[in-house]
Amino acid sequence: MILQILGAAGAGKSTLGTLMARQTGLPLLHADFYRWQDDQFEQMRPISVRRAMLAQDMACRPSFLLDGGLSSWLPEGLLQPDLLLLVRCPQKTRMERLAQRERRERPERQERRARPARQVQRERPERPERLERRVRPVRQAQ
């Protein structure tokens, strides 16, 4: 079984994935691990390396939880989750969580990131229809 958790940054994907991994015993894979070479999220891995890493992990783990999206770099059909979960959260809450995370995990970057984060905090309506166009139904819920 492959269960993929999707949502915007700060929505709670990793928190939900961690709780679900504890409850189910399934390994939790993080999409960011494949995308980024460093903990500062500044150096992206080449797409060929990401694909090879994911293919290796999928070969070793027939069942897993996946935190995040891969559709921008993964060929269609390579990952076929049995269940997709979309985590939604108000934008204001997400921005507060992201600011807290930034202060906690990367205090040295606080000043550099402070101005752009404030500019993004304006309210924008969520647009789930954009996600619906990109994610094809895996199977109907029963």
pTM: 0.72
Q: Please write the tens of the pLDDT for every residue from 41-89.
A: 789 999 999 999 999 999 999 999 999 998 888 888 788 899 999 999 9
- The pLDDT, as a whole number, for residue 139 is 47
Average pLDDT over residues 33-48: 88
User: Is the per-residue pLDDT at 115 higher than 70?
Assistant: no
- Sequential DSSP letters for 4-61: EEEE-TTSSHHHHHHHHHHHH---EEEHHHHHBSSTTS-SBPPHHHHHHHHHHHHHH-
Per-residue pLDDT band for 96 (boundaries 50, 70, 90) equals very high
Average pLDDT over residues 115-136: 50
